[in-house]
Amino acid sequence: MKKIIAAFSCLLMVLGLSANQVEPLFLNVATDNSSLVLGVGQDGKLYIQHYGAPVGCESQFEGYQTGRRVDYGTDDFAYPARGGRYYNQPALAVCYADGDCNTELTYVSHTITQSPSVVKTEILLRDVKTLLEVTLIYEAYQKEDVIVSHSVIKNGGKKRVYLDSYASSSMAFPAGKHLLTHFYGSWAREMQVAREILTPGVKTIQNRMGIRTTHTENPSFLLSLHSDSWSETQGEVVAGALAWSGNYKLDFQMDESQKLVVIAGINPEAARYPLDKGAEFETPNMIWTWSGEGAGRASRNLHDWSRRYQCYSQAEVVPTLLNSWEGAYFDFTTRTLTDMIDDAADMGLEMFVLDDGWFASGEFARNDSRHGLGDWEVNAEKLPEGIDYIADYAHQKGLKFGIWIEPEMVNKASRLAQEHPEWIVQSKDRELTTTRGQWVLDLTNPQVQDFVFGVFDRTMQLSDHIDYIKWDCNRHVESFGSTYLKDQERFYVDYTQALYKIMRRIRAKYPEVIIQSCSSGGGRVDYGALAYFDEVWTSDNTEALSRVFIQYGTNLIYPACVTGSHVSAVPSHQTGNMTPLKFRFDIAAAGRIGMELQPKDLTAEEKVFARQAISSYKTYRDLVFSGDLYRLCSPYDGNHYAIMYASKDKSRAVVMAYCIRYQARTLKPYFRLQGLDPDKEYKIYELNTENSSFWGNGKVFSGKYLMNHGINPALLKLYDSAIFMIEENK
């Protein structure tokens, strides 16, 4: 049974600590609307007392008793370590040189540093026997109600130790019924939503593919506390996301007394990490937020925080674009591209992106996915005028220019593979399996890091007019291993750290270039990548109905200002589905809009519509990028999907609504708006159509009306859609 007591000087003396650290110690890691209270117990260990709404003075926890048996060792340690009396899932597991695999962390000291918007609490813990130290770091972002937490593990002893587990953060929640929302999927079906009530045992969300880690699951979740149902507007919701682009593991353990502990960090599978004398290991950030106003607020907290502090591009408006991939694939000449640029300019688009297929020559020419990766010189047979000519052409037309690379990879059919077989990720005497005819380059090797940086650097030198790089990564790791590393188990961690190191180098030299993180679509969608990349390619599936679900899921965690969304041709190249052009545009409008088709295949009428839809998008895209996202209904629940983005000052908003299932004549949609000022008057008008679906089009309504009664546009047929501007009527 745990007790926080007023004095524990004996214990501290045993630990060699000074007498002035003996008062009961509670630390309140607080934001404007949430509070994480940590307390040191009479055993000198650090416990989580509370995470949720503020509870007032933290000293009220003095004498607190959980009522649990202390000999069961299941109390809520702030950073549970394997060994001693603790037997549940650990955040930390260490084996020492003498064969001992127990760790019992006790409090040593702490510091608090404050800036106007962030309060940073660092707490030093030490194992009772060895000199292993852990510093827990909590950064409390006041306005956004976000707590970013990670750990630094230091081997203070004289001999090498091995880390079997080294999570970033652990959080404890009271016994109860909690609904977990998490994400699953595959290529072309990313960020599908799964919801389940947690039951006793361990629920794990993880990936072990090394790279391209977010197709199958995503290192993020929302947890509706004390609830078995999802609400956008009510109840306590905790959201979490790990900022790591490698293997991850998030464990939700509900123990025998139904208490829930969430442990999040790097996946330690096949990654037993050696820590030499004096060495430190810094874990990636785990981002937590608490909302007392449902899932909508939790999402908005993450969006606000990430746009301000994490994402490389902080919600600036970016150019609309035409990407060559689905319109031309590998089959193009300079003329094909300049024609596409002409058409893009004609439709009012602002950038042209040349996708795959422009490099490598002769037998390795990149005319399909099985050739050329690694040989990053322009294919002069295909593009004799060079990239500069095309980039310059785009600039002359008033468009920016972007280009595709996949620098972490090498095709079997390439000069690079022949010249540097030792640079390929491989395990000695095991088969080198290919995907898309390609292998992964071993980023743990500093020579390869230089090469990958060089690919980016040289591509930027192809022209003075390169404004955007699409960085792709089209396979995962198999038969992991490195000819460079002595310790193979460091591979997965070192790979991701090396990727970040390269990105820091790139950003130091090219701070302005827009970089997209693409990985066969949404295979690298995480807050770690977003510290360096401006945007993510959400999915290779550009079909609008599929996109509803992909975008809904992605934007539960990640802000719309980073999610690329393109209008493509019908029948869809991925699903075969036919959707109206208006529906496709209205769906793409919810993110960073682009087109990905051959404009020549559009009719004159379609081009007129495209021009008009792009032009209207430019009038409200600032709301998509920096406004507050409100989900008005979920695509999983009914026949419609609707969202809105409202400006922070509540003077403008854009509402996007879609009919996604056939529903006969009975189920008419009704959308109650959110995020407006009840006391303001707003004019509502529909965009992208001359025949509004709403009887109130052009009228003025009060904020009260729009939020308490709502609007009922006649979106009755499958793929009917509407975009409404809502503007304060002054």
540 lines the binding site for ligand GLA (CB under 6 A): yes
355 lines the binding site for ligand GLA (CB under 6 A): yes
Min separation Cβ 524 and ligand GLA, Å: 10
**Toward ligand GLA, which CB reaches closer, 303 or 366?**
366
Min separation Cβ 518 and ligand GLA, Å: 5
Q: Which two tokens stand for residue 387?
A: 């990239």
**Toward ligand GLA, which CB reaches closer, 518 or 588?**
518
Strands 468-471 and 400-405: parallel
CA distance 160 to 620: 57
**Toward ligand GLA, which CB reaches closer, 138 or 187?**
187
Min separation Cβ 323 and ligand GLA, Å: 7
Burial environment of residue 604 by CB neighbours within 10 A (0 to 12, 13 to 18, 19 or more) = exposed
Strand partners, 249: 206, 265
165 lines the binding site for ligand GLA (CB under 6 A): no
289 lines the binding site for ligand GLA (CB under 6 A): no
CA distance 588 to 566: 6
Min separation Cβ 307 and ligand GLA, Å: 24
Min separation Cβ 467 and ligand GLA, Å: 17
CA distances from 711 to 288, 449, 691, 697 (A): 34, 55, 16, 10
Which stretches of 556-705 are assigned E, i.e. beta strand? 563-568, 592-596, 628-633, 640-646, 652-659, 681-687, 700-702
Min separation Cβ 436 and ligand GLA, Å: 8
Q: Helices in 462-527 by DSSP H: which ranges? A: 491-509
Min separation Cβ 558 and ligand GLA, Å: 17
Which residues, at least 6 apart from 539, have a Cβ–Cβ distance to it below 8 Å? 188, 189, 190, 191, 521, 522, 546, 547, 550
DSSP letter at 578 equals -
CA distance 166 to 265: 7
> What does the chain come to in residues?
730
Min separation Cβ 117 and ligand GLA, Å: 36
325 lines the binding site for ligand GLA (CB under 6 A): yes
CA distance 492 to 284: 14
Q: Which of 520, 565, 568, 574 binds ligand GLA (CB under 6 A)?
A: 520
Q: Which of 80, 521, 559, 669 binds ligand GLA (CB under 6 A)?
A: 521
Exactly one of 472, 494, 586, 720 is catalytic; name it: 472
CA distance 241 to 552: 16
Give the amino acid at 235.
G
Exactly one of 540, 586, 628, 720 is catalytic; name it: 540
Strand partners, 353: 323, 402
> In a 3-state reduction of DSSP, which class is residue 585?
helix
Residue showing tokens 């190191």? 501
Min separation Cβ 659 and ligand GLA, Å: 28
Strands 169-173 and 260-266: antiparallel
**Toward ligand GLA, which CB reaches closer, 248 or 325?**
325
Choose one: 158-166, 205-213, 518-526, 583-591; the region binding ligand GLA (CB under 6 A). 518-526
Min separation Cβ 686 and ligand GLA, Å: 32
Choose one: 105-113, 221-229, 243-251, 514-522; the region binding ligand GLA (CB under 6 A). 514-522
Min separation Cβ 537 and ligand GLA, Å: 6
Residues 171-200 that bind ligand GLA (CB under 6 A): none
CA distance 373 to 548: 33
**Toward ligand GLA, which CB reaches closer, 404 or 533?**
404
213 lines the binding site for ligand GLA (CB under 6 A): no
**Toward ligand GLA, which CB reaches closer, 248 or 537?**
537
Choose one: 106-114, 226-234, 481-489, 513-521; the region binding ligand GLA (CB under 6 A). 513-521
CA distance 12 to 14: 5
Q: Indicate if 228 belongs to the active site.
A: no
Which residues, at least 6 apart from 511, have a Cβ–Cβ distance to it below 8 Å? none
Q: Which of 369, 516, 554, 579 binds ligand GLA (CB under 6 A)?
A: 369
**Toward ligand GLA, which CB reaches closer, 145 or 535?**
535
**Toward ligand GLA, which CB reaches closer, 127 or 356?**
356
408 lines the binding site for ligand GLA (CB under 6 A): no
CA distance 699 to 683: 6
**Toward ligand GLA, which CB reaches closer, 283 or 541?**
541
Neighbouring C-beta atoms of residue 705, cutoff 10 Å: 17
CA distances from 457 to 292, 393, 644 (A): 47, 22, 40
543 lines the binding site for ligand GLA (CB under 6 A): no
Q: How far is CA 666 from the centre of its chain?
A: 39
Strand partners, 170: 263
Min separation Cβ 469 and ligand GLA, Å: 12
Taking a C-beta distance cutoff of 8 angstroms, is the pair 583, 613 a contact? no
Q: Which of 217, 356, 586, 628 binds ligand GLA (CB under 6 A)?
A: 356
Min separation Cβ 473 and ligand GLA, Å: 9
Q: 457 — phi, psi (to 5°)? A: -60, -45
**Toward ligand GLA, which CB reaches closer, 296 or 327?**
327
Give the x-and-dash track for 471-510 against ligand GLA (CB under 6 A). -x-x------------------------------------
214 lines the binding site for ligand GLA (CB under 6 A): no
Choose one: 80-88, 113-121, 160-168, 517-525; the region binding ligand GLA (CB under 6 A). 517-525
Residues 378-407 that bind ligand GLA (CB under 6 A): 404
Strands 237-242 and 217-224: antiparallel
Q: E strand or H helix at 170, and its extent?
A: strand 169-173
**Toward ligand GLA, which CB reaches closer, 147 or 440?**
440
332 lines the binding site for ligand GLA (CB under 6 A): no
290 lines the binding site for ligand GLA (CB under 6 A): no
Q: Which of 108, 360, 518, 632 binds ligand GLA (CB under 6 A)?
A: 518
Taking a C-beta distance cutoff of 8 angstroms, is the pair 474, 520 a contact? yes
Residues 548-607 that bind ligand GLA (CB under 6 A): none
Instruction: Give the interface size with ligand GLA as a residue count (CB under 6 A).
Output: 12
Which residue has the closest beta carbon to ligand GLA?
A: 356
Strands 46-52 and 35-40: antiparallel
CA distance 516 to 535: 5
**Toward ligand GLA, which CB reaches closer, 224 or 474?**
474
Give the x-and-dash track for 447-476 against ligand GLA (CB under 6 A). -------------------------x-x--
Q: Indicate if 472 belongs to the active site.
A: yes
Helix axes 604-626, 581-588, angle to 10 degrees: 20
For residue 571, cis peptide bond before it (omega within 30 degrees of 0): yes
> In a 3-state reduction of DSSP, which class is residue 11?
helix
**Toward ligand GLA, which CB reaches closer, 367 or 651?**
367
Neighbouring C-beta atoms of residue 326, cutoff 10 Å: 20
By the criterion CB under 6 A, which residues form the site for ligand GLA?
325, 355-356, 369, 404, 472, 474, 518, 520-521, 537, 540
Annotated catalytic sites, by residue? 472, 540
